[in-house]
Amino acid sequence: DIQMTQSPPSLSAFVGDRVTITCRASQSISSYLNWYQQKPGKAPKLLIYAASILQSGVPSSFSGSGSGTDFTLTISSLQPEDSGRYYCQQSYKTPYTFGQGTKLEIK
């Protein structure tokens, strides 16, 4: 199975900060990488697919980059509503696997 490793496990930042979360795959997955946001008690929400394509309706402050094994999710200007847990997920091959998540808190 492909292992997905996210860093950091958690982070805290101020409103307006630029925030970056990284995700590393245990083997090359080309651009088959998705990012999700999950708030407590809610279902995940798709943010980015194919490593860099913004899902419809997602604020343009979110962006994704990378290919191969290393990927990043960037929030250009952090807003209070961006708090939550973020997961990367590879769709290169089954079993599809998720990173362990990054908890983002607003200071």
Binding residues (CB under 8 A) for another protein: these are 30-32, 34, 36, 38, 42-46, 49-50, 53, 55, 87, 89, 91, 94-101
Minimal CA–CA distance to 36: which of 25, 18, 24, 23? Answer: 23
Q: Which is nearer to another protein, 83 or 85 (CB)?
A: 85
Min CB(104)–another protein separation in Å: 15
CA distance 33 to 56: 17
Using the minimum distance from each CB to another protein, give the nearer residue, 19 or 97.
Answer: 97
**85 with 101: CB under 8 angstroms?**
yes
Please say whether the beta carbons of 47 and 58 come within 8 A: yes
- Least spacing, CB of residue 11 vs another protein, in Å: 17
